[in-house]
Amino acid sequence: MKTSKRYTSSTAQIIAKGGNVMKADIMETGELYCEKLHAIRDGIRTDYWALHGQIAGHAFDHGGEQVAAVAKLSQLGLALEAIENAYSVTNAVRCF
């Protein structure tokens, strides 16, 4: 079956073997989202550890500054956890 869509080698093999085109589309979409989520995850992880290093090496003038910095670090941590969960679920779709 010929399609106009360009597939990765793994999904193209499924179609070449007479596999389900819908399944190939789902897997291909999962692959694309995994790539995007991986890039976002790497960016958040880099930002998290950069802020962590800044907090560790900074002498705060008052407690309010320190609390605000830790709150931002916590928010990045929560974002990182959420993106890890999204990546895990999307990866399951990619491998289906």
Domain assignment of residue 35, yes or no: yes
CB 55 within 8 A of CB 35: no
At 71 the three-state DSSP class reads helix
Question: Sign of the C-alpha dihedral, residues 26, 5, 35, 12?
Answer: positive
For residue 3, being part of any structural domain is answered with no
Domain of 36 in residue numbering reads as 9-94
Confidence (pLDDT) at 11: 60
Give the per-residue pLDDT at 2. Answer: 42
1 compared with 86, residue with greater pLDDT: 86
Say if 2 falls within a structural domain.
Answer: no
What's the whole-model pTM score?
0.68
pLDDT band at 22; cut points 50, 70, 90: confident
What is the rounded CA–CA span in Å between residue 71 and residue 57? Answer: 17
> How does pLDDT run across 34-83, given as a tens digit for each residue?
999 999 999 999 999 999 999 999 888 888 998 999 999 999 999 999 99
Domains identified in the chain, total number? 1
